[in-house]
Structures are given as C-alpha cells and as structure tokens.
C-alpha cells in the first residue's frame, strides 16, 4: 500500500440524516454486580458514511461544546484568591469542595513513610514502572554536532525543565497510573523539583498507591489538593508549595480552565496540552470478537458521562447484533455502568464500506485512543495520520496503554491529536541550539550574512559581522608585512 489517504474522498452521496439504532437499551433491572440503582440504558446511534456529505461528516467529528466562558467566571476568582492568600486559600477550597480540613497542604515525599501495599498490587505497579521507564528512557536523544560548512558547527542540546507540576485526578476514580505516567519522564529528564497535586482522602491523607508511585518515581513534593486551587498553587507558588514552570496532567473542566487561565497570566507557566473528555475510536471488521469490541468501548465510556466513544464498522460482515448484546450485558455488570450509559447516549457508530473509508474517518476525527481491531491490522499503521495512541490487533486493548505497556496515557483529546502529541520525555525538556564558528567559518559565512542583513535593513546586524571580518583581514595583512 502506497501513498496517504484523503479524508473520505469517496463520499459524494447526499445525506438523509437517518439514525439506525444498533444497540438496544439495557434491561431495566440492574445486575447484582452493579451498585447502580434503577435503569441503566446503553444506546448509540449509527450512520452510514456513504450517505453523508462532507459537511455532515464534519459535524460528526465535532465534540460537545464546553462553555468555558461560564467556567472561567467560576475559576478566575479561585485563581486570584490563591495568588493573594496562598496556603490559606488552598485550605479553604479543599474544605469547601473536598470536605477535608488540612493543617498543611504540602508534604515532602522523602519524609513520608513507605506505604504498605498488597504484594500483587505492588508487583503490578513495579512492572508498569519498569515498562514506562524503559520506553521513555529510550527517547533520550544523542547530542549531534553538524558542521554545515567548514568552520561552522551547530548542535542542539536538551536541558530539563527545572520545576514541574503533575496533576493526578481524584474525584470519581483514583489514578495512581497517572502518577507513574507523569513522574517517570520527569525523573528521566532530570527535573529538580517535581510537585504532584492530588485531592486528599477524607482522612486528609494521600491514596497509598499514588504515594507509592510518587516515591518510586522521584516526586519531591505532594500537594494535597485538587481542582483549580491545586493548579493555581503550583502556578503561583505559595509559602509551602514550590512554584513550577510547567503543569501536566488530565483533569475536569475546572482544572482545564485553570490551566488555560494561568498559562496566559503573569504566573509564566506552560501546560502540556489542551484537554477534553477521554475518548476512544474502535475500528472493527468481521474478524473482531464482539466481546472485545464491547469491552474496549465501555473501558472509555466508564471514565465519565462526557467521554466520547465511537465505533467504526468495516464492511457488511460484522455481527452488529452480537456487539449490541455484548454492550448490553457488559454495561449492566459495570459498577460504573451509569457513567458508561450516559457516555454511550451521545456517542455513535459509523458504517464504513472498507478500511480506506474507516481510516479516513478516523484521521478526520483524530481520536485520543485508536483501536484497530481488524485482520492484518499492522499493514494499516502507515495510513494513520491523527491519533494520540494506537492499539493494533485483537490482543491489544486500550487498557494496556492506560496502565503498563510503556507508552504514555496522557494524550491529546478533543481532536487536538491533529497537531499535538502525547506526553513524552521531550515534554519535560527544552532544547537549546548552540553554534560555534572558527575564524575560517566566519570568513566563509560572514559575507552572506552581511548581504542578508543589508536586504532587511538591519545595519547593526551587518556591522557585528563586518567588524570581525575587518579585524581578520587586518590581522592577515599584518602577518604578511612582518
């Protein structure tokens, strides 16, 4: 297969905007395995790509709009208050939102005792640590000096960002895996100050699994706070919380709003990437196991009601009824089935005629996670242009990337995979270019620089070269007359 795909270049039919329900609502009686009370409904809409115009396909790729103007109005006062009152403001908002009274908000990790974990849990996190470390340490670049012309040497050197803030969400799910994903590359990069912010439990302590990961990966400080107040404390710095230069990590819309506000403020911080709700796009053909397809869809849907789930069916041989039944059954068995069902209610399935059409749509959608569960999946890798992370074949669930394969799970969402990459070792470094010229190098290059500076009317630029060239010429003439 050669060349690259044009997005849906074969779709030219009109669109009647019909919906084809392919997943029936789940049974109204919850299973004994679920803690959900009442009805849990799991349903998605379905559209045929061959019946869509370009404009209608474009609308399908659009994510639900977030009204950040109203969120900014709620978050800005928190940002300002933390800037003004520091630790006291963080304590206030932690008591208000998390219902936890804290005497101090920051702990130095080196002073905290080693948490006790179940041996199986410890082994799982150790394996994940090893794989994530191996994948990210392999991203180190070898310093390379290039002599562009005789006497003109250039190179690019990596330097760590001095202080970084890592946000690990709490809320409806504890995410120690995120602590690993963010702190390991920070450690490899050599960041000197690493502040990990995460909401405290009701006892005022940090989740022991998060603490274990933080200690193992070299975190220096733990900020016991979440939400906009945590982001603000790391951005501005407080009496107890070191100021950081870059903030990483996923979070809800208030966390995202705080990051957006602060990166454009006097706090002078940068952020990892724009963020939105978690999402997955699954491409499945007739060889895909319906149970696997359903499980992969639900694994993202259970993150929250705003998660984005898209199924792309390839060809006519896919057993949609079997997928429907699996989603119904598995959704009912999930403790977080209510979240999953709400996510599915605004998600959809598209029916593609073949893999070319399926991948074209995926490239347009630019999902955070892309699962390619089709026969000979590896041969389609070169056609994938836009995705945060890709999972090839029936034995590669998205869950392995979320936890322990080694790749990073902090990825661009909301379509930003078109122009952003996921977190990597590079995210924790900046690059400095270095050039060094010999006398001969300036003689070779200098006249061309003089010409270009003259064209641009920048006489001081030209003079900086001219003075040196004149001195070189005079020195040569003096040596000849001796």
Q: Which of 200, 412, 269 is nearest to 259 (CA)?
A: 269
Annotated catalytic residue 409: no
Is 166:155 a contact under the CB 8 Å cutoff?
no
Among candidate residues 324, 357, 368, 398, the one labeled active-site is 368
Report how far residue 186's alpha carbon sits from residue 180's, in angstroms, rounded to the nearest whole number.
10
Q: How far is CA 95 from the centre of its chain?
A: 29
Among candidate residues 83, 221, 303, 369, the one labeled active-site is 369
Annotated catalytic residue 245: no
Q: Which of 194, 234, 206, 201 is nearest to 90 (CA)?
A: 234
Catalytic residues: 368-369
């Amino acid at each position: 297969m050669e060349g690259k795909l044009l997005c849906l270049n074969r779709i030219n039919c009109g669109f009647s905007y019909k919906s084809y329900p392919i997943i029936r609502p789940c049974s109204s009686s919850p299973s004994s395995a679920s803690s959900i009370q009442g009805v849990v409904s799991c349903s998605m809409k379905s559209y045929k790509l061959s019946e869509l115009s370009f404009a209608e396909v474009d609308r399908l790729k659009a994510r639900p709009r977030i009204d950040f103007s109203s969120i900014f109005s709620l978050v800005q006062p928190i940002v300002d208050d933390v800037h003004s009152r520091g630790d006291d403001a963080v304590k206030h908002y932690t008591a208000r939102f998390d219902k936890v009274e804290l005497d101090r908000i920051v702990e130095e990790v080196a002073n905290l005792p080693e948490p006790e974990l179940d041996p199986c849990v410890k082994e799982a996190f150790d394996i994940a640590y090893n794989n994530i470390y191996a994948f990210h340490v392999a991203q180190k670049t070898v310093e390379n000096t290039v002599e562009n012309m005789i006497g003109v040497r250039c190179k690019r050197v990596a330097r760590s960002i001095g202080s970084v803030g890592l946000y690990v969400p709490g809320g409806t799910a504890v995410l120690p895996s995120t602590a690993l994903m963010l702190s390991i590359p920070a450690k490899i990069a050599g960041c000197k100050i690493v502040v990990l912010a995460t909401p405290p439990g009701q006892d005022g302590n940090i989740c022991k699994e998060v603490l274990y990961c933080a200690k193992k990966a070299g975190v220096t400080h733990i900020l016991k706070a979440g939400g906009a107040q945590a982001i603000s404390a790391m951005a501005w710095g407080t009496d107890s919380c070191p100021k950081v230069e870059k903030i990483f990590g996923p979070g809800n819309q208030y966390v995202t709003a705080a990051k957006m506000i602060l990166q454009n403020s006097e706090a002078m911080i940068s952020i990892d990437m724009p963020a939105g709700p978690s999402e997955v796009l699954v491409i499945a053909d007739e060889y895909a196991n319906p149970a696997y397809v359903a499980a992969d869809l639900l694994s993202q849907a259970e993150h929250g009601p705003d998660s984005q789930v898209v199924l792309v069916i390839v060809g006519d041989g896919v057993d949609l009824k079997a997928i429907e039944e699996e989603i119904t059954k598995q959704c009912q068995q999930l403790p977080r089935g209510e979240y999953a069902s709400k996510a599915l209610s605004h998600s959809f399935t598209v029916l593609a005629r073949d893999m070319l059409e399926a991948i074209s749509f995926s490239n347009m959608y630019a999902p955070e996670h892309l699962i390619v569960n089709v026969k000979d999946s590896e041969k389609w890798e070169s056609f994938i242009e836009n995705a945060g992370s890709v999972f090839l074949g029936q034995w590669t669930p998205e869950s392995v990337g979320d936890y322990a394969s080694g790749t990073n799970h902090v990825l661009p969402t909301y379509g930003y995979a078109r122009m952003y990459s996921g977190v990597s070792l590079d995210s924790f470094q900046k690059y400095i270019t270095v050039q060094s010229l010999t006398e001969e190098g300036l003689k070779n290059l200098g006249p061309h620089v003089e010409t270009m500076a003259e064209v641009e009317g920048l006489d001081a630029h030209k003079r900086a070269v001219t003075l040196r060239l004149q001195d070189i010429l005079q020195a040569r003439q003096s040596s000849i007359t001796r």
